[in-house]
């Protein structure tokens, strides 16, 4: 199964219409995205809960790390640099945090609110090497923008 991003985007827009609670939005997105593609082994959010610190939020899959500082790992790099991290081989990423030994590749996208502040990162892990593409990054960035940046959150 391969994700149909146009359909996924329509589904998410329909399910989240009028919702402004960031955690409710994260829960819905992690579920919908996780089940949209067989490549997605772990899908979830790490929320910015204090300066330079991420804590686990809603997710699908096995257990995740509970706390990740901005200074460590792929999730920390996405939050710190405010840029998508597309990692074809997690073993080659300096400082990778192995929350699950099955993870082979990863994509992490920063999540912005209306003010441009990073409020979370979306982390998707795959048990397949080199599982993610620039097309994934672009489509997921659009979904995150439409869900979080383009609406006022409560």
Question: What domains are there in the chain, each with its CATH number?
Answer: 5-149 (3.30.450.40)
Give the neighbor-by-neighbor strand order of the sheet with 118-126: 67-69, 53-60, 42-50, 118-126, 105-112, 85-87
Does 139 score more than 70 pLDDT?
yes
Kindly list the distances between the CA atom of residue 69 and the CA atoms of 5, 52, 74, 90, in Å, as whole numbers in the listed order.
Answer: 31, 6, 10, 18
Which helix (H) or strand (E) segment holds residue 28: the answer is helix 22-34
Structure tokens at 115: 């003010």
Q: How would residue 10 be classed by pLDDT, with cut points 50, 70 and 90? A: very high
CB of 61 closer than 8 Å to CB of 44: yes
User: Using one digit for the tens of pLDDT, what is the confidence trace for 12-59?
Assistant: 999 999 999 999 999 999 999 999 999 999 999 999 999 999 999 999
Q: Which residues contact 91 (CB under 8 A, 6 or more apart)?
A: none
Q: Residues 6 or more apart from 17 whose CB is under 8 A from it? A: none
* pLDDT reported for residue 45: 98
By the 8 A CB rule, do 43 and 100 touch? no
pLDDT value of residue 108: 97
Structure tokens at 41: 């082994």
Its pTM stands at 0.95
Q: Please give the pLDDT value at position 64.
A: 87
The pLDDT tens digits of the residues spanning 56-89 come to 999 999 988 899 999 999 999 999 999 999 999 8
pLDDT of residue 93: 76
pLDDT tens for each residue of 90-121? 878 776 676 767 788 999 999 999 999 999 99
**pLDDT for 76:** 95
pLDDT band at 2 (very low <50, low <70, confident <90, very high): confident
């Amino acid at each position: 199964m391969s994700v149909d991003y146009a359909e996924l985007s329509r589904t998410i827009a329909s399910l989240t219409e009028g919702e402004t609670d960031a955690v409710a939005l994260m829960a819905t997105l992690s579920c919908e995205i996780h089940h949209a593609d067989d490549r997605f082994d772990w899908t979830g959010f790490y929320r910015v809960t204090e300066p330079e610190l991420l804590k686990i939020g809603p997710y699908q899959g096995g257990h995740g790390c509970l706390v990740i500082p901005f200074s460590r790992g792929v999730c920390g790099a996405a939050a710190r640099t405010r840029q998508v991290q597309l990692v074809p081989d997690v073993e080659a990423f300096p400082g990778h945090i192995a929350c699950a030994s099955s993870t082979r590749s990863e994509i992490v996208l920063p999540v912005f609110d209306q003010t441009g502040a990073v409020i979370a990162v979306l982390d998707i892990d795959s048990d397949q090497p080199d599982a993610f593409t620039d097309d994934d990054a672009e489509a997921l960035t659009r979904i995150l923008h439409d869900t979080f940046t383009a609406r006022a959150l409560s």
